[in-house]
Structure 1
Amino acid sequence: MSTGKRLAKRSIIGTRVCAPGEDGKYYSGVIHAVKTPASYSENNNCINLTPNTRYSVRFDSRQGNLGRVTAEFRETDLIGPGFRSITGIELVPGQKTYVTYNGREVAGEVVKHHFENDEVFITICPPGCEGPFEVQKRLEEVRLLESRKSARLADQDTDFARLADMAGDRKRTASHTIDVPAPSHHFG
């Protein structure tokens, strides 16, 4: 039995999720504790998990959840990997979101959400744009969490995906013929 403080490979601790705030918006954070009430079975003394499991979420910023740094939530309240998806919730105006625009992830803010039509109107301002403008997306195209970026690349401004695309352009413009040297015959 290991006594170290290393987390199990499939531990839920450290998972990035979004949790509802008191204003109806969802805010990003990290699960830092799981509180599971247990009941003992009479016949085999094993622990049975009950549906009252609470997840303690540490928010990314204090402003994020109206001054709270941490809060507890049920599994059904959380959005993220291993929990609920964004489909089935109604986004409120001002909700911070992420969408893909011209092949790049762009942060935006919800203007309105027509839940019955599955239309979300989001104001975005991509890099190199003169000013913000509105785009219309389906709810399943909207993300509440920023896509993960390698910690090694987090502080770099270089977009390596674009560099890779440029390399692909060079390959397409290359000659379609291959110069192969003639075989040389050396005897003896």
Structure 2
Amino acid sequence: MPDPLRIDPIGEARRHWTDRWGPEPARPMAAVTSVMRVQQILLAQLNALLRDHGLTFPRYEALMLLSFTREGALPLGKLGERLQVHRTSVTNIVDKLEQDGFVRRVPHASDRRATLAEITPAGRDVAAAATDDLNAAAFAFSALPADDQERLTTMLETVRRAAGDFTGDAPPAAG
């Protein structure tokens, strides 16, 4: 993690925004930029936790998605859809995981046009070890107590639902 900044850039931006456009537009700007900055911080911390496993967080997510399937495999297109990334990114993720021996590409049994990414035993092992480390580190989110984590998840679900991120009911929150 780089050295802390001397000032809070979001607080400073909010001050300027308030001076120019007033407090109402400044509030959502500060909220959005705060979420984006926290995402950058968390991704850097998660990648640091995963580095010893030879993974990045996107590669870890791909391994976990594959490990959750019945067959341990998904078509590349479906993998990209569930990871919510462009097909080029899926190709890069799968290329690196395949190079490391964590997945293999296999032809689809019934659709000759499709290729599956299939998790290997080594991929399952590294995903399990990485999950142990992430769980032990509370996914780099221990700055917030459990109740606040639940509230944040619920608030962000509201934003995601309003944006059409998913349909149907979300599973009940733990706790």
TM-score (norm 1): 0.24
Bigger radius of gyration among the two: 1
More helix by share: 2
More strand by share: 1
